[in-house]
Structure 1
Amino acid sequence: MPTVSAHVALTLARHIDHVFGVMGNGNAYFLDALERSTGAAFTAVRHEAGGVVAADAYHRASGRLAAATATYGAGFTNTLTALAEAVQAHVPLVLVVGDEPTSGPRPWDVDQIALASAVGARTYTVGRADAAATTVIAIEHALTYRVPTVLAIPYDVASRDAGPLPEAPAPRLPAPLSPAGPFARGAIDDLAAALSAAQRPFLLAGRGAWISGAGEALGQVADAVGALTASTALGRGVFPRAEYDLGVTGGFGAEGAMELVRAADVAVVFGASLNQFTMRFGDLFAPGTKVFQVDVAPAATHPHVGGYVRGDAAVVAREVLAAVRAQGAAPSGWRETADVAAARAYDPGEGLAPDGRLDPRSVAARIGELLPDDRVVVSDGGHFIGWANMYWPVASPDRMMMIGTAFQSIGLGFPSVAGAALAQPDATVVLTTGDGGGLMALADLETAVRVAGGRGIAVVWNDAAYGAEVHLYGLKGLAEDPMRIPEVDFAALAAGVGAEGVVVRSMADLDRLAAWAAQDAASRPFLLLDCRISGAVVAPYQEEIIRVNS
């Protein structure tokens, strides 16, 4: 008869198609049932954090629910940083773990429920009689609140006979949040009236707008009032008309584009939390700009917001569109006067920095020219995050993900390649990572190479340092030795797990990328570019951080 673990696996497999993780004592029976009795695929990673990261990336790249799995105790504690990142980034996934026996903890057990709660994740523990129903509840919680949930299988229950698999109900999910009541109606009318009367209207969309499917409606609103548009780092590509889109806002934005944003007299933000980086630490909009925000949060998330509508971005965008049309709005004409292409231009760099090492701006620009158009960019955390965000445009928000930045962590890069590669099986997956984060995630370099194969490329920004710390704390006079890393040969490390590694010391060395991109993906190897860059070139977003912290 099916075991408790089999009930979990069979029920979960009705709602997911992929599981990532590491097998151990606590999840062995779950993985056995998953492999033998379901159509869900399992991809092994080499560190438990990598399982959660890969599931996270899989969701961000596909929109579909994924699962991760680890054993109890040390296996579970290894997932915590990645789990915290998924919580902060509002990524729904299910983490299936072993747990202490129902009789109580053993010396190697920890209070997993408390640890998960500490990073913001809810735990559901299955029993012999309710494993299928509890699994559905965990899935429902993850999808409803857009957070990871932990599904725990006590060790002494895992292999117990649970009888025939019962019919568990499908998860019940809430409808998109609609504004309700006269105050909400009045707020929408005020927002529409401001847009209709604006001389320089501007629309900003975030990841929430993408998740809600608001792109078409937002494009129609922009056309109706003649607005320039832009996105947050996680919302790029939401608006359908690139010729009027200023790209990414905040520290990753081009300076000319940000000047146009500051010229707006009315700005409406859809589905973006307006964090300090998007807002350029308060300098994104000019003091005279009327700022409205549309989001599902209980209240406005920045003090510069003057009007707030709580609701799903797509629902509200359609209501705003109807309102501006009813008010007889005409296009402002502002966006036709703007030279958007010139405004979006970035500094091409100098090729070589004064210290003789490569200028990362020049490297990033050249790589952006050579990468295949059909690409997914996955980014680790670190000073280097500016280069990909500035120089490697992508088609839509599911093609650019920064796993680690929500929790301000590094070392989650290599396993994210696996999740993105399986979610987008025809695209080239491009990892951007630093030497510090790359070393931290080294266990899953093998995973990235094995799963992505010739569709994978890793760009390691190797400045022999923790660059963000050098630029911030080194400037303050703190000792720099703890911030430095002996230069590591990542190309050799890549070769050790079956990839091709190229040390890039000159712009000409990037010609190998051009040749690689021209090859068929089935016949070429995973490529790692070990770019020996100057640590003296500071990314613009980092300059903003330095300014604020000085």
Structure 2
Amino acid sequence: MLTALVAATVSARIAEVLAHYATEVFGLMGNGNAHLVDAVARSEMAYTAVRHEAATVASADAYFRVSRKLAVATTTYGAGYTNTMTALADARMNQSPLVLVVGDAPTTGHRPWDVDQAQMAAAVGVPTFTVDQSHAGATTLAALRHAVEQRTPVVLAIPYDLPAATAEAESLELPERIEPPTITPDAHAITKAATALREAKRPVILAGRGARHAIPELTRIADRLRAVTTTSAPARGSFGGRALDVGVCGGFASERAQGLLAQADVVLAVGASLNQFTMGFGNLFPAGTRIIQVNETATANHPQVSEVIQADSKLAAAALEATLDTVTPHRWQEFSDDEIAGAHFDREPGEALAADGRLDPRSLMAQLERALPENRLVVTDGGHFIGWPNTYLSLPSPDSIVMVGTAYQSIGLGFASAPGAAVAQPDRTLVVITGDGGGLMALADLDSTVRAAHRAIVVVMNDSAYNAEVTQYGTIGLNQDAMLIDEVNFAAFAEGVGAEGRIIRTLNDLAELGAWLAEHETGTLLLDCRISKSVVAPYQHEIMAKLRASLGISEAALE
């Protein structure tokens, strides 16, 4: 049905169309988007102000990852726009649909401080839609369609001389919902995969974030086959409580889980990108393992993939479940409950304190696992510390962890993405975990996190170092001065933005967390945990070995 758009200005027209499909906007106001932010405030959309432009996109991305709903980010032109690039690149790699509304150069041409914003967006794989007075609504709708249907962020640009200009009359057909296309699986491919799974001696089902809506079907398939289940890091929590689940796969898997996965003869990988970390740098599954990937593109994501089923994850899983009933059964050597039980959390317990007198991150995270509320929503930054929350903290359900930045291998987007997660699930306790290096990069949006969260626990893994660099490059003899950070009092920063802060030097100090949780239904508590940099996360050893091999450095040469 045609809808007559009534908003008078270009900015109001954009907001009018956006409000049909989005409820949340994350923004930072500047010259290029001031009128747009005003129009958002007059609409039914909620506006969350952040303190750095990177957080506009990172929060919108996190909101999508938790809620599965499209969000809007907005910032100004020029410096405001360029500050979004890292978060925008990561959102593109994650295939997160969001609309970034920005100011741009005027229609009369570039000013000295303007850059070719469309070309910059194209460089990270993101398209730009530029509005004019005649088709502001239609262009906004086209941008929304592209974002959702192509599963990508898009930039919606407003030339500087147009935000308050009169929008010409438009009538648009505004569908009730915009949804991505669904791809039906090929019946022959499904039968072939079902036969392979039935004949497998030790089948494994690996779920990524793209399989989140197919978890019930995949769980029933796994139970029928008595298959082991595992997930990529961003999909942790998908098979929580299942007896034959080994938790996360790849570099974050426990040694026992890695040993079990190494016995797989057939792997059904659904909705997972199969990146180097999920696949353990090619060492997770042995050569000859048959890996069947269910993917929305026809291209395999890893050289070990044997065949690809191009399909929507849920449709493919439902078809596989139905087809398994018609495939001739075969005897297989099944995994036993005793082999699997507790494999995910079969971790080194750590010491009360490391040899240097600082906290052992393993025992710290194990105690946090027991102390934090079960109904948790975890947000992590990037960095060496990421190995600890992903191996010691359990998750209650899919979409319980947000890892904005990891696809692009960046740090500094933890505090930037946390507001989006908090808005998406306000009834859960937000748990933000960052390193000191990434935390300092994003410190402005500690304020945004405190304002957005109903109740939050912030954990700073403070080892006074960029420890990924120390473990990779310091250990091969490079000068470490640039890898170290003068110890920072994050607890004091927390108090400066309205939170409470505690410095944690011993495990006994964590009693303050329990007391705070018992007394506070709202608010934010930051734990500045003084950890040792001498304890190296297991996944980091894989990266170190790969780096040394690429440089031709033997372990013997380092002794």
Cross-structure match for 1:277? 277
Does the 8 A contact of 1:268 with 1:291 survive in 2? yes
Cross-structure match for 1:130? 135
Does the 8 A contact of 1:225 with 1:329 survive in 2? no
Cross-structure match for 2:106? 101
After TM superposition, the structure 1 = structure 2 runs for residues 159-308 of structure 1, keeping only pairs within 5 Å, are 159-163=164-168, 166-170=171-175, 173-180=179-186, 185-210=187-212, 213-239=213-239, 242-308=242-308
**Partner residue of 1:529 out of 524, 527, 530:** 527
Does the 8 A contact of 1:132 with 1:168 survive in 2? no
**CA-CA distance at 1:219 after TM superposition:** 1.3
Distance 1:337 1:427, change over 3 A: closer
Does the 8 A contact of 2:199 with 2:331 survive in 1? no
What is the SS of the residue equivalent to 2:234?
A: coil
2:541 alignment partner AA: E
- The yes-or-no answer on 1:68 pairing with 2:73 is yes
Does the 8 A contact of 1:298 with 1:310 survive in 2? yes
| Cα distance in structure 1, aligned partners of 2:179 and 2:26 | 25
- The yes-or-no answer on 1:385 pairing with 2:391 is no
After TM superposition, the structure 1 = structure 2 runs for residues 531-550 of structure 1, keeping only pairs within 5 Å, are 531-550=529-548
Does the 8 A contact of 2:75 with 2:81 survive in 1? yes
Distance 1:331 1:363, change over 3 A: farther
Instruction: Describe the superposition over 1:461-486 as per-residue Cα deviations: whole angstroms up to 9, x where unpaired.
Output: 10101010000011111110011110
**Partner residue of 1:40 out of 16, 36, 45:** 45
**CA-CA distance at 1:287 after TM superposition:** 2.6
2:363 alignment partner AA: S
| Percentage of pairs with the same residue | 52
**CA-CA distance at 1:333 after TM superposition:** 6.6
Cross-structure match for 1:3? 9
What is the SS of the residue equivalent to 2:39?
A: helix
- The yes-or-no answer on 1:115 pairing with 2:120 is yes
Cross-structure match for 1:29? 35
Instruction: Describe the superposition over 1:94-136 as per-residue Cα deviations: whole angstroms up to 9, x where unpaired.
Output: 0000111111011121111111111111100011011111111
| Cα distance in structure 1, aligned partners of 2:357 and 2:83 | 40
Does the 8 A contact of 2:149 with 2:181 survive in 1? no
**CA-CA distance at 1:331 after TM superposition:** 8.2
Does the 8 A contact of 1:6 with 1:33 survive in 2? yes
Distance 1:286 1:178, change over 3 A: same
Instruction: Describe the superposition over 1:390-446 as per-residue Cα deviations: whole angstroms up to 9, x where unpaired.
Output: 111112231101111111111111122211111001001111100000000011111
Cross-structure match for 2:348? 347
| Cα distance in structure 2, aligned partners of 1:462 and 1:203 | 36
**CA-CA distance at 1:342 after TM superposition:** 3.4
How many residues were matched structurally? 540
What is the SS of the residue equivalent to 2:44?
A: coil
Larger CA deviation: 462-471 vs 154-163: 154-163
- In structure 2, runs of 5+ residues without a counterpart are 1-6, 549-559
TM-score relative to the length of structure 1:
0.95
| Cα distance in structure 2, aligned partners of 1:172 and 1:304 | 35
Cross-structure match for 1:148? 153
Does the 8 A contact of 1:2 with 1:165 survive in 2? no
| Cα distance in structure 2, aligned partners of 1:484 and 1:359 | 18
After TM superposition, the structure 1 = structure 2 runs for residues 428-443 of structure 1, keeping only pairs within 5 Å, are 428-443=429-444
CA RMSD of aligned residues (A): 1.6
Does the 8 A contact of 1:225 with 1:332 survive in 2? no
Cross-structure match for 1:58? 63
Cross-structure match for 1:479? 479
Does the 8 A contact of 1:54 with 1:420 survive in 2? yes
| Cα distance in structure 1, aligned partners of 2:338 and 2:310 | 31
What is the SS of the residue equivalent to 2:399?
A: helix
Larger CA deviation: 455-464 vs 391-400: 391-400
**CA-CA distance at 1:452 after TM superposition:** 1.1
**CA-CA distance at 1:174 after TM superposition:** 4.3
**CA-CA distance at 1:59 after TM superposition:** 0.8
Cross-structure match for 1:510? 510
TM-score relative to the length of structure 2:
0.94
Cross-structure match for 1:401? 402
Instruction: Describe the superposition over 1:178-237 as per-residue Cα deviations: whole angstroms up to 9, x where unpaired.
Output: 134xxxx43322221121112211111111111xx1111111211221111111111223
Larger CA deviation: 525-534 vs 218-227: 218-227
**CA-CA distance at 1:44 after TM superposition:** 0.7
**CA-CA distance at 1:273 after TM superposition:** 1.5
| Cα distance in structure 2, aligned partners of 1:320 and 1:337 | 24
Larger CA deviation: 308-317 vs 286-295: 286-295
After TM superposition, the structure 1 = structure 2 runs for residues 321-340 of structure 1, keeping only pairs within 5 Å, are 321-329=321-329, 332=332, 334-340=334-340
What is the SS of the residue equivalent to 2:315?
A: helix
What is the SS of the residue equivalent to 2:335?
A: helix
- Structure 1 stretches of at least 4 aligned residues deviating more than 6 Å after TM superposition: none
| Cα distance in structure 2, aligned partners of 1:419 and 1:94 | 14
Instruction: Describe the superposition over 1:228-285 as per-residue Cα deviations: whole angstroms up to 9, x where unpaired.
Output: 1111111223337521111000111111111111112222111112111111111111
What is the SS of the residue equivalent to 1:306?
A: strand
| Cα distance in structure 2, aligned partners of 1:166 and 1:43 | 30
What is the SS of the residue equivalent to 1:166?
A: strand
Does the 8 A contact of 2:204 with 2:261 survive in 1? yes
1:86 alignment partner AA: A
- The yes-or-no answer on 1:410 pairing with 2:398 is no
